[in-house]
Amino acid sequence: QFSLFLAAQEHPNIMLTKAGIDNVRKGCTQYPLLQQSFAQVKDAADKAVEGKINIPVPKDGGGGPSHEQHKRNYQNVLACGVAYQISGDAKYASYVRDVLLGYAAQYEKWLVVHPKSKASNQAGRIFWQILNDCVWQVNVIQGYDMVYDAITPRDRKTIENKLFVPVLKFITENSKETFNRIHNHGTWAVAAVGLTGYVLNKPDYVEMALKGSDKSGKTGYLAQLDQLFSPDGYYTEGPYYQRYALLPFVIFAKAINQYQPERHIYEYRNKVLEKAINTSLQSTYSTGVFFPINDAIKDKTFESAELVYGVDLIYAEMGGKADLLDVAQKQGRVIVSDAGLKVAKDITEGKAKPFQYKSLIITDGAAGNEGGLAVLRSGSNNDQQCLVFKAASQGMGHGHFDRLNILYYDNGSEVFSDYGAARFINIESKNDGEYLPENKTWAKQTVAHNTLVVDKTSAFKANLNEAQSHYPEILYFKGDGEVQAVSAREDKAFPGVSMVRTSVLLHLPELTKALLVDVYKAESSAAHTYDLPFWYNGYVTDASFKINAFTDQLRPAGTKYGYEHLWMNSNDSVPGGSGYITVMNNKRFYTTHFAGGSVLNVKTVSLGANDPNYNLLNAKAFILSRSQSHDQTFISITESHGLVDAIAETTTGAKSTVSGLKVIKADRDGTSFSFEVQGKVYQLIMNYTDKNNFIQLIK
Amino acid sequence: QFSLFLAAQEHPNIMLTKAGIDNVRKGCTQYPLLQQSFAQVKDAADKAVEGKINIPVPKDGGGGPSHEQHKRNYQNVLACGVAYQISGDAKYASYVRDVLLGYAAQYEKWLVVHPKSKASNQAGRIFWQILNDCVWQVNVIQGYDMVYDAITPRDRKTIENKLFVPVLKFITENSKETFNRIHNHGTWAVAAVGLTGYVLNKPDYVEMALKGSDKSGKTGYLAQLDQLFSPDGYYTEGPYYQRYALLPFVIFAKAINQYQPERHIYEYRNKVLEKAINTSLQSTYSTGVFFPINDAIKDKTFESAELVYGVDLIYAEMGGKADLLDVAQKQGRVIVSDAGLKVAKDITEGKAKPFQYKSLIITDGAAGNEGGLAVLRSGSNNDQQCLVFKAASQGMGHGHFDRLNILYYDNGSEVFSDYGAARFINIESKNDGEYLPENKTWAKQTVAHNTLVVDKTSAFKANLNEAQSHYPEILYFKGDGEVQAVSAREDKAFPGVSMVRTSVLLHLPELTKALLVDVYKAESSAAHTYDLPFWYNGYVTDASFKINAFTDQLRPAGTKYGYEHLWMNSNDSVPGGSGYITVMNNKRFYTTHFAGGSVLNVKTVSLGANDPNYNLLNAKAFILSRSQSHDQTFISITESHGLVDAIAETTTGAKSTVSGLKVIKADRDGTSFSFEVQGKVYQLIMNYTDKNNFIQLIK
Ligand SMILES: [Zn+2]
Ligand SMILES: [Zn+2]
């Protein structure tokens, strides 16, 4: 047991601080971004204050009325807290007090197991799962901190004893399992408890938050910082959950830094928190959209609140660079806080620089040796080519069976995409807004990805425990020069099949855009069927072979591992095993030249079979396919070319300038092939056995 | 034969004039929009001058290399003409001269029938169809006019005698049929000939352009102005072709006004040209996209060059209002011309006002009595609801069999949409960029539209001549107030079936957005199958009944009239014949409540069957369906509600607030029904026999 915090006498003391408040108040009239951000907060606060307080008995699942009302309540409490601090108007403080007293009057009467709770997650008391209760508390305690001085000691006592202390107990006792989980739900739990412990001056709870309920340090916030992030700051569940997980990490870190600066929490584990925020930003395409690997909602961008907190905090308190101001500008708001003040001020002073997107490899695993996520980029932020290569580990329960998957972006659009999660988030009529059954039967399966499927199954036969215990080996990475490349090996996903994939962004002097070159090699002593899907966006406008789409009947492409959800649209044998297919997408053309041995089929499929409840979105793929093959190499070169100007009705460059793809060698040790660009012959050689001379371009 | 034009001694004298040139030159440095517009032209001109002149022997179809090169050539000639006038730099004039001498050296050697010509259109000599030759000439002659004074008389003689005079002859003689057509191809032809006649001072050709090759006035420009537009300025082929047709009308009008102001061409037929331009703008949704009725490429907006000419000209020369400046700003450019100068100047001076979109009915037919296009609008330009009701006539060869079709927009998106044309314009691999066979088998058919299909056929059995000889009768139109409505009757589309459709934008005090109420009544003494499709965008998220999507096999929904292109996805009988279906589209929900008698089926379909060449785009519909019915009334109320915020992951208002749709009366004379909104009961009564009391809302 340690002593009470000195700083605990001061309120507020988290994102807004007593020391900073005068400057923030002034900044709200000086710096446009802070001014607008406060105007939004104040607008929300005013709407709240004008409305009627509504604290319904918890009843509904995600997206339902009581769920949404409790969510609004915590947003209102936070907004009114900020509005009170900046404006000094007591009505906002009164609102917060009344809401909290309202909860205090009811909270202990509510069921300890929410009526809509599910076996998959520990129950909340306000929401269907404890996670949302913790999010609620993280927000509400900040609002309370901001109006603390405006509430009478008597009311504070009621609020603390009848609401916050029971919440602390509920999280640490009823939900002990979640509280001690090394998992993003655990982070929300420890942040809720830790922040509340600081504000209520209860060091015991802070200690539990930092070191787990037994205070041993095996669980809790610090153990989460140790184990949930790789040394590069990668969160194993992937960018979507990384972003989500960041918020409690960031807010709690800020509180720790305020109350116990001696912990040097920002420096912890070589500044892992700062790395996590930077890695999160680097896990977006130049439009700000997060790479949707694993369970991910696809429209999510770095504009989300978590990254607003993250960007403001690393810029203001961790020495972040001026290119973060570019992100802040795109976010269009700052946190009304000491950190937000600095960001808004520096933007006003013209310090912003374009965000520096990088080609990089982000290692996975607590020790950084469990594969990783590779990102290759080319071009300006306005027209960026971006290849994402997933050689990371499984990523726990939200992971997809997508070993060596690639995602490819160009021209502000997805070219080869990942389906993300099968979920209509917060739409009650769709499984209460939760993951749909098709998330498991479709979205997680291998065939839903741009990676090799062996014998129409999924990697690890879609067994999570099996998948979780293996990870790919990164063979090669080079993030600059004319041959940017990444290569990785996966030997365990399919029994008896060893796979190496090598993806390249190749810059040739004849072309303004890089070529995406992709070589997927599989070795096996047994015969297999190999399917390599390319999930494309747009419409097929040309092909070297005749695509004979089925005209009068569609049937599913299989019965399991996701194939049951695919309508088979065509299945054509390609003479000579090589050819091309051209897709028009967002006013540009993408021609994929391919070669895969002497007998190759190209199938086209569309998503939607065995979907009685219309839970699946539109998606289309072409699949390079070989059957009865032992060793197999698929080579493809995708050129981005041309321009469709729909307004002027002009089309240029609709034909690919690449031709003559010829395989020279494709065996276990290496792959080499040649192709022509505008009459000039190039040869690419990959030596899988020589890391020092892995790829060679011969001109 | 009349005398030579006085003004013909002056060059330039069309969009740029000798009298205006000094001011335009100055304006190019003073007014940002003109400055940018000139910078773009100059950039194109500089690229042209730096490049090599290339005049290929005509060879390819639309989108092919020689096609695109000849297109670039005319663009370059025009750009260099302007660049010469503004900058005075002789290199631009030399470029134009050299290109024209190049054409002059070859033109007469080229085949008089282009090798890629098709039976459907008269052949060009430079392009596959004469239309493109005329467009070429309209542009090139303007470029020539601008550099006229910089070319030696000797070179002018060569250019005129070896190129322009042969072109004049080719158009008026070899292509006489097109030249004398009352049709947009004819307009390009007369504009090409008329402009050339003015610039070359050949009044005979001008006279032919104005009054037809026999100068009788039965054809030619004036006859086209009389016959191609309705008194409201509607062009019977629809907004897409209206826009396209406008350019030659506008440019030729400007030339006539310069050379023969005594013709008062702007005043002609009650200012029909000005009306046509205004009607064209009113034929767009608030995003600027043209309503894609009939054969239309869907991405087309008022940013297209034709409307830049149109807007600049009516603003500067026909007394256009200040809200046109809003359109000009969105166009982002002006014509570098006397008119563009005025637009750019007035924008700089802050005179722009938001464009005034209107609810209006635009009559069709030369006498204005052949039906019309009704448009109902509600809300600001940022979030406009817009209902388009097509009660116009067939619209000639590009018309679709879509009697009483509706299109519905909201929130910047299509809610119920029209497929437009089946065409990948300018993409050579897709039927040389021309209309695809599916334009006829699919896009024109009735089932491709949001209108009634009887017995799975198409209106007029898809017979153009039959369709062209009948048009709907407009029964009622009211474009303001709480009940905006349009109603029309069509008795000839399906033998023995009389149809009346009434569509309403209904403003209720409980709702911020209007409700779309739609009542489709069919009468027949015989039993029929009635299908009413709603072609929706987005995803079905909810329904009052269980949708049982077919899981393991899809079959086409029929064998002809477009049904052969539909995969039948589900077919459910709806208990009681009424219910709702909710679609999520662009972050908003659209719930369609419907009632259609005691036994009603809802089918869902998706486009793509019998499409061996992948020529069709994605499209989905739900279809209200009755079989064995004599008289039939389909009532629907579509509510726009809720908000999905993907960044914040919040969803509000996912449930419709409309309920309890009850049919009170549905017979030949009238329809009445009631429904509830937030507990309040409303009743709508339609009296088809009483035009003075057509619709009543009872509260
Ligand atoms: Zn995935
Ligand atoms: Zn149509």
pLDDT tens digits, one per residue of A276-325:
999 999 999 999 999 999 999 998 999 999 999 999 999 999 989 999 99
Tens of pLDDT, residues B603-615: 999 999 999 999 9
| Closest residue on chain B to A424 (Cα) | B541
What are the residue numbers of the active site of A? 241, 398
Q: What is the pLDDT of residue B124?
A: 96
pLDDT at B371: 97
Token pair belonging to A69: 């009302």
Quick one: which H or E segment has residue A410? strand A405-410
Q: State the distance from the centre of ligand 1 to the C-alpha of B264, rounded, in angstroms.
A: 66
> Residue B319: which residues within 8 A CB-CB, separation 6 or more?
none
d(CA B193, CA B171): 8
E strand intervals along A455-496: 473-478, 483-494
Contact B429 A654 (CB under 8 A): yes
> Does pLDDT of A680 surpass 90?
yes
CA distance A593 to A637: 5
- Chain segment A619-635, per-residue pLDDT in tens: 999 999 999 999 999 99
Residue type, A679: G
B70 as an active site residue: the answer is no
B17: CA distance to ligand 2 center in Å? 42
Inter-chain CB proximity B433 and A542 less than 8 Å: no
Chain B stretch 41-60, residues whose beta carbon is closer than 8 A to a beta carbon of chain A: none
Work out the pLDDT band at B2, boundaries 50, 70, 90.
very low
Give me the pLDDT at residue A3, please: 55
Q: Predicted confidence band at B1 (pLDDT cuts at 50, 70, 90)?
A: very low
Q: Does B652 touch chain A (CB under 8 A)?
A: yes
The beta-carbon neighbor of B612 closest among A427, A549, A618 is: A549
Domains of chain B: 7-348 (1.50.10.100), 360-698 (2.70.98.70)
Q: What is the pLDDT of residue B176?
A: 97
Residues bordering ligand 1, an ion, CB closer than 5 Å: A 400, 418
Q: What is the mean pLDDT of residues A98-103?
A: 98
Contacts of A5 (CB under 8 A, 6+ apart): A198, A201, A203, A206, A259, A260
Band of pLDDT at residue A653, cut at 50, 70 and 90: confident
Interface test mutation site (partner A, options B566, B649, B652, max chain A beta carbons within 10 A): B649
Question: DSSP for B148-160?
Answer: GGGS-HHHHHHHI
Task: State mean pLDDT over B647-664.
Answer: 88
Q: What is the pLDDT of residues A361-397, one digit of tens each?
A: 999 999 999 999 999 999 999 999 999 999 999 999 9
**Portion 318-377 of A in contact with B at CB < 8 A:** none
Q: What is the pLDDT of residues B10-27, one digit of tens each?
A: 999 999 999 999 999 999
Mean pLDDT to the nearest integer, A647-658: 84
Report the alpha-carbon distance of residue B139 to residue A427 in Å, rounded.
54
Angle of CA points A36, A40, A41, to nearest 5°? 120
Query: Is A643 in the B-facing interface, judged by CB distances under 8 Å?
Result: no
State whether B548 and A612 contact (CB < 8 Å).
yes
A321-327: long-range contacts (C-beta < 8 A, 24 or more apart)?
A321/A353, A321/A356, A322/A346, A322/A351, A322/A352, A322/A353, A323/A352, A323/A353, A323/A354, A323/A355, A323/A356, A324/A281, A324/A355, A325/A351, A325/A352, A325/A353, A326/A352, A326/A353, A326/A354, A326/A355, A327/A281, A327/A288, A327/A302, A327/A355
Q: CB-based contacts of B43: which residues, under 8 Å, 6+ apart?
A: none
Q: What is the pLDDT of residue B7?
A: 64
Residues of B in contact with A549 (CB under 8 A): 608, 611-614
> Per-residue DSSP letters for A90-111?
HHHHHHHHHHHHHHHHHGGGS-
Proportion of chain B above pLDDT 90, given as a percent: 92
User: Is the sign of the CA dihedral B319, B320, B323, B324 positive or negative?
Assistant: negative
Pairing between β-strand B695-698 and β-strand B680-687 as defined by DSSP bridges: antiparallel
> Cβ A425–B651 below 8 Å, yes or no?
yes
Mean pLDDT, range B149-157, rounded to an integer: 97
Interfacial A residues in 401-460 facing B (CB < 8 Å): 424-430, 433
Average pLDDT, chain A: 95
pLDDT tens per residue, range A27-57:
999 999 999 999 999 999 999 999 999 999 9
Q: How far apart are CA A84 and CA A91, in angstroms?
A: 8
How far apart, in whole angstroms, are the C-alpha atoms of residue B310 and residue B327? 11
Q: How many CB pairs under 8 A join A and B?
A: 140
Distance to chain A for B459, nearest Cα, Å: 25
Q: Nearest-CA distance from A156 to chain B in Å?
A: 31
Least confident of A213-227, A333-347, A418-432, A533-547: A418-432
A396: distance to nearest CA of chain B, Å? 23
> Which whole-number Å values give the CA distances from A449 to A405, A406, A615, B633, in the listed order?
6, 8, 18, 47
Express each pLDDT in A481-499 by its tens digit.
999 999 999 999 999 999 9
Contact call for A539 and B567, based on CB within 8 A: no
d(Cα A361, Cα A392) in Å, to the nearest integer? 10
Q: What is the pLDDT of residues A527-550, one digit of tens each?
A: 999 999 999 999 999 999 999 999
CB contact under 8 A, B651 and A427: yes
| A649, A655, A657: best to mutate for the B interface, most B CBs within 10 A | A649
For testing the chain B interface, which of A67, A306, A330, A426 should be mutated: the one with the most B CBs within 10 Å?
Answer: A426
pLDDT band at B547; cut points 50, 70, 90: very high
Please name the residues in contact with B58: beta carbons below 8 A apart, sequence gap of 6 or more.
B66, B70, B110, B111, B114, B115, B124, B125, B126, B127
Q: How far apart are CA A156 and CA A452, in angstroms?
A: 60
Q: What is the pLDDT of residues B537-546, one digit of tens each?
A: 999 999 999 9
How far apart CA A548 and CA A18 sit, in angstroms, is 71
Between chains, do A567 and B548 touch, taking CB under 8 Å as contact? Answer: no
Q: Return the residue in A139, A244, A541, A568 with the most chain B beta carbons within 10 A, the one to mutate for interface testing.
A: A541
Give the Å distance between the CA of A71 and the centre of ligand 1: 29
Q: How far apart are CA A444 and CA A214, in angstroms?
A: 36
- Judged by CB atoms within 8 Å, which residues 293-322 of B form the interface with A? 297, 299-301, 303-305
What does the alpha-carbon distance between residue A170 and residue A110 come to, in Å, rounded to a whole number?
12
User: What are B75-108's pLDDT values in tens digits?
Assistant: 999 999 999 999 999 999 999 999 999 999 999 9
Restricting to B residues 180-219, those with a Cβ less than 8 Å away from any Cβ of A are none
Give dist(CA A226, CA A272) in Å, integer: 9
The fraction of chain B above a pLDDT of 70, given in percent, is: 99
Share of chain A above pLDDT 90, in %: 92
**CA distance readout (Å), B554 to A71, A568, B608:** 43, 11, 11
Mean pLDDT, rounded, for B246-255: 95
Q: What is the mean pLDDT of residues B57-68?
A: 90
Tokens 């990102």, residue located? A375
Residues from chain B contacting residue A646 (CB–CB below 8 Å): 297, 299-300
In angstroms, the Cα distances linking B440 to A210, B206, B293, B435 are 70, 38, 14, 9
Q: Mean of the pLDDT values across residues A511-534?
A: 97
Q: Is the pLDDT of residue B601 over 80?
A: yes
Res B610: pLDDT: 98
Q: From ligand 1's centre to the CA of A418, what distance in Å? A: 5
Considering only CA atoms, which of A182, A434, A403 is closest in space to residue A293? Answer: A403
Query: Could you tell me which chain A residue has the CA closest to the CA of B302?
Result: A647
Q: Greater confidence, A37 or B305?
A: A37
DSSP state of B3: P
Instruction: Pick B649's closest partner by Cβ from A297, A647, A651.
Output: A297
Mean pLDDT, rounded, for B440-468: 98
Question: What is the CA B232 to chain-centroid distance, rounded?
Answer: 16
- CA nearest to B522, candidates B448, B430, B455, B590: B455
Q: Please tell me the distance from the alpha carbon of residue B116 to that of residue B118, in angstroms, as a whole number.
A: 6
Contact B42, B92 (CB under 8 A): no
Mean pLDDT, rounded, for B267-275: 96
Residue of B144, B148, B241, B476 marked active site? B241
Mean pLDDT score of chain B: 95
CA B417 – ligand 2 centroid, Å:
9
From chain B residues 600-639, the ones with a CB under 8 A of any chain A CB are 604, 606, 608-614, 617-618
Task: Using the CB atoms, write b or e for B85-124: b if 16+ within 10 Å.
Answer: bbeeeeebbbbbbebbbebbebbeebeeebebbeeebbbb
Tokens in use for B587? 């972050």
Ligand 1 center to A400 CA (angstroms): 5
Q: Read off the pLDDT band of A1 (50, 70, 90).
A: very low
- Alpha-helical segments (H) within A260-348: 268-282, 305-317, 324-331, 338-348
Predicted local confidence at residue A644, as pLDDT: 83
